Every structure is written in structure tokens, then in C-alpha cells.
Structure 1
Amino acid sequence: MPRFAANLSMLFTELPFLDRFEAAARAGFEAVEFLFPYDFPAQDIADRLAEYNLTQALFNMPPGDWSGGERGIAALPGREAEFEAAVETALAYAEVLDCPRLHTMAGITGGNPSAACGETYLRNIRYAADRAAEAGCLILVEPLNPYDVPGYHIASVRQGLEFLDTVERDNVRLQLDLYHAQITDGDVTRLIRRTVDRVGHVQIASVPERHEPDTGELNYPYVLAALDDAGYTGWVGCEYNPAAGTEAGLGWLDAYRTSSR
């Protein structure tokens, strides 16, 4: 059975951020993930994790000017010093939170990024991977679909895998968000089988609405069973927008817990 992590940037948002940890634990989650922890002292988050016996599965490195529309800076020429500082900030949080996975957002480079963008991305991810290796962390690369994030530098699982072939670092893995993957690549069962050995983290949501994983065009009981059969043993992040409140939509999780007894 998959091990589910609550994404606290999208679930339980009716509560202040630091109160979402308790809500996740009460709902039956054993791990959490979120986009960015940097508005809060790392120790405050670590205290919540310890109090509610939760594992920190994943978070993102600083993304640049998020409110201004940036979605990462790793592929943006001229921002290398800022990126290196972001790596250090993220690793400092990862140490306190005992988090072994960091998602590094590439950035928006347009539909036809320049060679300089590709070269910058490769150098920056190698730098992040080398620094993360010293801390025993994985660096994750996540393809984002062009409908939600137009112009994102890595816009399909195929492109993500091609980049992994190029980066030549054992601790750089694919963050396989099945919501994005269904939109960009499809054929997700065979996609899982092909990529599982290169996957460092999985996320789920319904397609196309990005709601709970018991609606939409993907049959998640089948897909998650395929993930188990392929040998994936990591966390599955629940990165979806609740259709009518987080707790009201958790019937899908109750069904999984019941079926595993």
C-alpha cells in the first residue's frame, strides 16, 4: 500500500500553517510535504514534526520571486549566485527537518529556451547535487505541464528523463507528479514501469481538475497498485486542491486504510 504524505501548502489551508501538522496527523497521514518553509524558523517546524510523529518527505528550494510569477531560477542565466545561496538555505532547513529530498524548480524559460538556459540549468543542478550529496540528500527534478505553468523549462517526463541522462549525478532523481504526467505524457502505467528506478518522489491529484484522487480520468486504485507492483516504496505526496474542504474530501484515504487492514 502506498505511504501518503499530506501537502500542507494545499491541504488544511483553512488553518494557519503551523496548525496543519496536527490536522494532518489526526487525519491519518504519517508524513508531510509543502512548497516552501522559509517564512517560519526551521526549529518551529521541526517541533511540530516531532510533536505529531510526522516525517518531512519533501520541500522546495527557494523559487525566486514567487509572488511575481517566477517558478524557480535554476535555468535562468545570471542568477547563479542567487541559486547557490538558495541551495545553502534549503540544505540548512533540510538538516533541521531531517528531510532527504529537495525539489529544485527550473524556472520559466519560454517555449524555446536558449542554449544558455540549458547550460545554466545543467551547471546549477550539478552544483546542487554535489552540495546535497555531502548532506545525504536527493535533488529532484519535476516536469510541469504547459497548461498550469506555460514556458516551464522541463515540460514533460520525457524531457526530465533526458536531463537525468545528461546531469550524471546519482542523487538527482525524477519527481513524478502523476497529475502533470498524465497531461504531458499519458500512458501512466507503462510510464511508471519505465521510470520507477529513477523516481525519488511521487505526487498525485485528479486530472484535469487537480482535486481528490478519487475523481477524474485517472483510476488511482489501479495506478497506485501499479506503483506498488513496480517496486516503488517511497512517499506519495497528496498535492491536490480539495473540492469542498480537506476533511470532507478524505474519504479516498479512509478507503485505502480500510482496504489495507
Structure 2
Amino acid sequence: MPYTVNCSILLTGRPLLERPQAARDAGFAGVEFWWPFPVAVPAEAEVDAFVQAIADSGVQLTGLNFFAGDMPGGDRGLVSWPARSPELRDNLDIVTRIGERTGCRQFNALYGNRVEGLEAAEQDTLGAENLALAAQAVDRIGGTVLLEPVSGTPAYPLKTSADVLQVLDRVATQHGATNLGLLLDVYHLAVNGADVDRDIEAHRDRVAHVQIADAPGRGAPGSGDLPIQQWIEDLRGGGYTGPVGLEYKTDADDPFAWLPTDQRS
């Protein structure tokens, strides 16, 4: 499939469990979500309802985040956060079971903000340990852990592709886990000042997933100044075969008007 709809940031005018069907009705075959529950370990009935909504809509769940804390409140993951590391570890099996039930095989782990009063080295040691545990958890279903640069949050330490790859290489060297990859989010990279063309050329063999939004504004492609279609073509030409995640904000009546219907699925 060429595209997958992030239903945590798009179609938000509908209840969460109705969004997979809305994406299907708009012509897409895939959806992805941030963690769709307010806690790391939701009730089994809530998990069942989420899985059933995916199945009933006929779309493929292509990506799912691990629990990342209170995202609207400013949290950006628990991977390197000592005080909340137990929540992340409790979350690993649930994420893996959702992946097993839905066929999802890509799981995004937000690294976490720097915590005041803690040494960065302490957080990074824990981060590598937890990423290895996450990789081990999803490996039993053939899953891949994704790690991404993030913009707009000064306390989040991974701002470039190189930052992410340094962490992934540490996890491989110290813990032997290799089923991890770079989530190339062109919006975050561009906002952080990266040369996205250079990143694509230099790191295309490490790209495990791609997400797009235009800048400024994090709107739909064409709403800003970024050459998104060129970047997609460059990635495809270089061998990227996975779906491109639509992770932008819009209040438009048709959030996908920029993309012809016959190119959505």
C-alpha cells in the first residue's frame, strides 16, 4: 500500500474506534495509531474493542506506538525515563499481543524527554536497555521497533537521524538487538533544520518507516514549502517499499483532498 493514515492525528472529529472505517471509506487500506489508550495497561475489553474496530473496517494496522505517557501534557515517551520505566515494560507484552492479533509489525518507541536532575548518561543507559527489551518482545512476532527524531520539544534529545542511529547502534552493540530502525519523519527533520535530501541519501538503508507533514504548520502536503513528493519519489527510487504515514493536522472537510483517490490504496 502506498499510504497509511495516522488515525491519532487525522479524522479526530470522529470517535477513535470509528476512524479506521473512515480511513477505509476515504480509500485507504492502512492505518497507524499512537498508543490509543490513556494508560500503559488498558482493560482487556478496551483492547478487544480496538482490535475489533480494525478488523471490522477491513484495513491493515501498519503501525502502533508503545505507551508514551501524557502526550498532550508534553510527555514524549518512557523509554529513557527511570521513574516510569516499569510502565513501559508492562506495556511491551500488550503491544506485542495487539500486533499478533492485527498483523501489525512496526512499533514506534518514543525515547522520552530529558529529566531535570538526572544525568543524560543514566537515561541513555536505561534507554538502550528498554529499547532492547522492546525489540525482544516484538521479535517473537517478527516485529520492528521504530525510533524517530522529534521537533517542538526542547527536552527531547533525539533531533536528527544521526542522533537516532547512534542510539540504535548502541542497542545493537551492547544488547545484540537488531530489529530496530529509523522512522524518517520528514516534518520533524525539516523543522529541526536537517538537510532531508542528504539524510535520505545517507541513511536510506536504515529507514524502516516514513511519515510526512508539510512545514510550516504540520499541515497536509502542499500546505507548506517542503518538497514532500520529491522526497517520496527519492525514497521509492532508492528501494523503500513500505507505506508512507500521513501524520499531519488539518481541519479541512476532506483531509485527503491533495491526494487523488486512485493513489490512496
Q: Same fold (TM over 0.5)?
A: yes
Structure 1 residue 158 and structure 2 residue 157: aligned?
no
Shift in Å, 1:256: 7.1
Query: What letter matches 1:239 in structure 2?
Result: E
For the residues of structure 1 that align with 2:181 and 2:18, how far apart are their CA atoms? 31
User: In structure 2, what is the Cα distance between the partners aligned to 1:19 and 1:133?
Assistant: 30
- Indicate the residue corresponding to 2:30 in structure 1: 31
How far the C-alpha of 1:185 sits from its partner, in A, is: 4.7
Partner of 1:83: 88
Stretches of structure 2 that go unaligned for 5 or more consecutive residues are 39-44
Kindly provide the CA deviation profile for residues 191-215 of structure 1, in whole angstroms up to 9, marking residues without a partner as x: 1122221111110000121000112
Counterparts in 2 of 1:113 and 1:155: CA distance versus 1, 3 Å: farther
- Percent identity reads 31
1:140 to 2:140 alignment:
no
Partner residue of 1:101 out of 96, 101, 106: 106
> Matched residue of 1:201: which SS?
strand
Matched, 1:251 2:265: no
TM-score, scaled relative to structure 1: 0.89
Equivalent pair of 2:200/2:235 in contact (CA under 8 Å): yes
Contact 2:2–2:263 under 8 Å retained in 1: no
Q: 1:218 to 1:255 in 2, by over 3 A?
A: farther
Alpha carbons of structure 1 residues 160 and 186: separation in structure 2 relative to 1, 3 Å: same
CA contact (8 A) 1:58 1:100 kept: yes
**Matched AA of 1:212:** A
Where structure 1 has 5 or more consecutive residues not aligned to the other structure, the ranges are none
Note if 1:69 corresponds to 2:74.
yes
Q: What is residue 182 of structure 1 aligned with on the other side?
A: 190
Q: Shift of the alpha carbon at 1:178?
A: 0.6
8 Å Cα contact 1:173-1:199 kept in structure 2 = yes
1:81-116 Cα shifts (integer Å, max 9, x gaps)? 222112122212222222101111111106995210
- Specify whether residues 229 and 49 from structure 1 end up closer, same or farther in structure 2 by C-alpha distance, changes over 3 A only: same
Change (3 A) 1:149 1:113: farther
- Specify whether residues 144 and 25 from structure 1 end up closer, same or farther in structure 2 by C-alpha distance, changes over 3 A only: same
Distance of aligned partners of 1:96 and 1:118 in 2 relative to their CA distance in 1, 3 Å threshold: same
Letter aligned with residue 31 of structure 2: V
Partner of 1:221: 229
